[in-house]
Structure 1
Amino acid sequence: MSSAVLKLRRAIRNKESISLSPEGKDVGEATALIIDGEEIPLSEKTDFIGNDNTNQTLRAIYQCWLNNESSTTEYIAACEKNKIPVISFMERTELISFLNGSSETCSYLKVDAAALNEFASSSKSTGKSEGADNENKDSKKRKIELDPFLKEILANERDLVDHNKALRGSKPVDFSSVAKECEYKIIRLSKSDSTSGSSKAAATAYKSSSSSSSVPKPAAVPRHRPSSSTSTSSVVTAPAKNKDPIIILSPSASSILTMNNVKEFLQDGKFVDTTDMPMSAKNMLQLSRDSKKFNRKMKFLVVSNVDKFFTKPEYWDRVVAVFTTGQEWQFKNYKYSQPNDIFQKYKGFYIHYNGDIVPPKINSWNVQTITIDRNQRFKDRQTSEFLWESLEKFMSTKGYK
């Protein structure tokens, strides 16, 4: 197996020349990568093995490096444009850290001893420069030891850090979730308060006009003032106030969680194999959950066919989870047709049997995989609770109380 990944890492760290061949072609159209004068075919498989147990090509590795500062969405778009396989988020993060030298190891890189020796021998030039730096440090240290006055001054030296360096971390932080929470808890709340304010004004006007009438006033009906938690919850589900959250199942025949067994699994903690069962005619059912996180009993609607049930746009505001089998045709008539947009808005789940291969697309989407054991049914309750904990944690970030 080629050690092209190690050669690429050495070239990046030593700032050696890297170019594509033929010249002027992008990474999707080029045939070879020239690293410090050595031409390596881009179609050559490397020692980088992902979770799907496939050796990534040099083309996929170099495409990942070219987009090392791009967002996940931009990287996936670039891969689709050049028709290059997408490396999942975790694999991509570890690969970039290895290539730029931030990390000395990569768990996905399966390199033999011969390749490591070759890489070590080719990095001698780097070792020489590091040796020169060490000599300079030793010389400076000896100079300090020979001068007591200089040593005393340096003993009281301290590094000055301004507020920018102190507040900034070493990695970029995505605050998009904070922006969404502000929208739900501040902006929409203020709109809701303004609407309720106009209703109070109308009620006051009606009361003053009726006070002059000789008709006796009926007994005042006490009005319930919602608590802050109720107000927050109504903001989160503004178009569908006090409505049950919705879970969408995949209508695919390959899905192991269907309308036939979803209630037994999610509500009763028992998984039933539906291989020999006929397809259910139901498109919707209701299940309940005694939530420990929210300290109340919650009802959920489970839907498999959004075309028949989602007759109003506001139904999408109630969706909290989407189960998928990795087939994009499922999202054809969704509010958001792109999987990356869908699983940013809603919690995504992919359920599969233990030992089955997870489709590569699942690794590139923001989807959580749930493994079902084929034979050991005593594990079903634990698996079901784990799924619920993940979903309820997601719901709490969306403002559910």
Structure 2
Amino acid sequence: MPSEVDPLLLLRQSIAAGTSVVSTTTDASDAPETPLPEAHFLQFASTAGDRTALPVNAPTRFLSNDAPVDLRSIYFAWLNREVAIPEYNAAATRLNEELAKAGASATVHKFAFVERLDLITWLEGASEESEYIKSTGGAGATGAAGASAGSKTASGAPVTSSRSGRGAAIDPRLAVIYSGERRTGDHNTVLRGIKPSDFSHVRKQAIPFMSKKQQQAATAVTDKKHPATMPLNPKSGPQRRPDPIILLSPSASSLLRMSNIKSFLESGRYTPSDNSSTATMLHIMRTMKEIDPNRPIRFILVEGPEQFKPEYWNRVVAVFTTGQAWQFKSYKWSNPSELFKHVQGVYVGWRGETTPQGVKDWGHRVLNCSIDKWADPSIPGADVNRWRDREVSENIWKAIETNMRQKGWKRDSGATLA
């Protein structure tokens, strides 16, 4: 490997330029592509048509536990950048098994969640710094890797920053915005790390304490006018804020169903519904700064009010609809015009398509949102506009928060207005 070639930087430049990276068994420029477990080289094509071959076991400047990570592990992590940590670890285990069968002594490094996130962010050009990448000459964490958007590749071709990593160029102004973006994980990755954990034992340990608390509450009732479940002095302690409820549309034509609503509202990215979810209820944690900036609110998502008690309707803060009035037949307010006087309505449709007449008739009380049509991710540039999904998701949350404030939701209490 030529001493002047930086494997890590070369991979980043190839991603930005949209040129191909091919795994081969030899370093010949005309060598055919071979599966990664059998490959000994990665060949990087330039815009001029020539190839640069590097060994797959070449060390890179990315350090994990102070040890350099090989090029094959870096490339494998990039290929699996869009899968969750458990699926990524399973795929890495399968690749290690295939490498062992092929007689290779090396194994693929499994990145921790933070390392993997930092690596992918740097490779796709959304960040110019990385605490895990060793400097090449003291010019910062990335050193020579500073050749990002606006620099040139080894072949002399200009590089255009690409967030999707599939060669689809993005607006330079967006690249500046992405460089300042702070990447965070969801509550599952923060609490559980890279391995699923079983907390069922905690419930067993809590049963004696919960039973004792219920007995104390029952013995505190001295007046028959108080219900048996109410403490003697309900103002003596902090009130428990009820969980707000979001109703989804059960229509098969709805773009957001139980199988994909969680990822859309939490991560701001749309994926098509596969109708395979058997869940009847979901929970989403969201911080509403204007209501309680210090404690996230847990939202309950259901498709229908079949299990509702009368008092639950005061907790409904949003209703997703496709514009079909039959959805509200079993609601407390079956007339759409009356319903959306009490609850924030949300309609999500494809961008460029006509809005249903029902949504138009219900007026400004129904938030009309449009998202880009879904395309197969394997098609180059298919998700170049998927960043707009987050904007739509944030607009929905903003409308829900405004409606909750108008209904009287506060830090320690639910709605005060019906």
Fold in common (TM above 0.5): no
> TM-score interval w.r.t. the shorter chain?
0.3 to 0.5
Larger radius of gyration: 1
TM superposition score normalised by structure 2? 0.38
TM superposition score normalised by structure 1? 0.39
Higher helix share: 1
